[in-house]
Structure 1
Amino acid sequence: MPVFRVFIGLLSLSLYVITIVGAFLLILPPALVKLVVPAWRRPCNTLLDWIASGWIELNSWHQRWLTGTQIRVTGDLEQLSRDEWYMMIANHQSWVDIMILVRVLNGRIPYVKFFFKKELLWVPLLGQALWAVDFPVMHRHSKAERARNPALATQDMERTRRACEMYRDSPVTIVNFLEGTRFTPAKHRAQGAKYRHLLQPKAGGLAFTLSAMSGQLRRLVDVTLYYPGGRPTFWQYACRQLPCVDMHVRLRTITDDLLGDYPEDRAFRAHFQEWVNQLWREKDEQLERMAQEARPDPESP
């Protein structure tokens, strides 16, 4: 790799570290206040969300400046509003996905909240910052664990419900990567390659969240990400090796038939899974179209 690109990558990493430290120092006082004085939770959360949004915008600015990555967006982007409650789903191919999503959508939608794995709580500064701004912690149990102890399914639902209670007072965007993990060819083959460009979606977490929000989430932001040059690593993105990304945004309605008791109601569970599978079939077709459009014409000189 050319020395210039390594320098850009190191500069980008340095800016991420600086902004994380700066955001953490700003986040810490109101986070402690809302912990000690629960009655002040709402104004503290407003301030914390404002700080987090500014942190995202600052990172987006230096990404645009350093990476040179062009993001080509199609679909319903202009229909989005900061005054709506949104559920967002997206295919997951790279750690870069999150950076692309917030870089494009910050300021167009309400503050974004990701479910994150509990292990991230132990990452210095970042884990504590995610906790402070009320990103919900995921303690999801495997099917085998739930089979051995059925009470764990109820615990998963209760944790989701408690996390979502915090989001009812003001608009928010809750993000869910339905595949549960990043796409790799090995994972794709292991699942039987049901879809051409996607891993199989997991419907339970989405159903839990919609139910926990008691019908307040009525709009679904369905995002499809495609990397014409192949799935990048974070280091490649930081080193200016990701020329472009294609992003398609589709705004959908969440209807009443998508709200129900996913663990206990077998008919509802089958209906919800079919709805998610249909979303994924459409997303797979969208990715195929994006791949075809990005492929050079063999007839061209």
Structure 2
Amino acid sequence: MSKLSAALVALAAFCWGLSGGIGGVLMAEGWDPVVVSFYRGAIGLLFVCGWLALRPMQSGLKSPRLWSWSAIAGLGVAGNFAFYFVSISEGSVAVAATLMYCAPVFVYLVSFALKLEKPTLPKWAAIGLVMIGVVLLTRVYDVGAGSVTLVGIGAGLLSGLSYAVFIFGFKYAAPHGSPQAILVIAFAALAAILFWLGDAEQTVAVLSTPSWPWFAVLGVLGAGLSFLFYIVGLHHTAPSVASIVAMVEPVTASLFGVVVLHENLAGPQILGMALILVTVTALSVYSSAQTEPCEDPLV
């Protein structure tokens, strides 16, 4: 069962990696990042609604705390999707995916600020190494590099911060209801936020565009099946294993960008990417070793 569960987590990460590349294809055709994010979440909402309909037990939908924390999770995932695609449009899939993978660093910083976790030297050292990796990856030291804009860098980091908000929202909603109920509320909030922020004309135009199959695949892989695979798989996967397996996402996204979208990465960028991926994974494994494994997904 553990091997199958780890495979489900890896499959979810693979789907998320592909979704970044598919989003890059759509935005290269001129679609707005917010509109792309809206359809990713809206199609995902259909899947989690079906999941809740099939497994309605102990949903917790009568709990006000479930609704409030799930709405916060929805705000986080809306920001994660939107900022991620903005970062791709302003830079590259590889850079955006790796910057988003910095999310655990933001989780630690928020935990330090809220005194939920005690700062230690290894954690601060890991955060410092990730910051060095970000500098190398984004090449902010080279003004003439031009491969990634400041907007792209900021959006990539904000996508990671937004994911941290989603993690906290999900964590505090979990005691009050089922994962599928939390995701229904979160994705409903996401759809409402991004529909309001998006280009209404483009949002309607998607329904009749020849690119519709790409939007459908993006929603199915990027928010539908992937979240189901991840949460089901994580229930029987050690957090340390899940942390390592999650590296499939940025690696898949980077390969998609290089092979399909013909993006190029300079030597220092590859070094920075490797530094971020290895450090964040080691940080997650270290954190898992300090705590008992739990059934709370996304932790």
- TM bucket (normalised to shorter chain) is under 0.3
Structure number with bigger Rg? 1
Normalised by the length of structure 2, the TM-score is: 0.24
Structure showing the higher helix proportion among its residues: 2
Higher RCO (C-alpha 8 Å, min separation 6): 2
More strand by share: 1
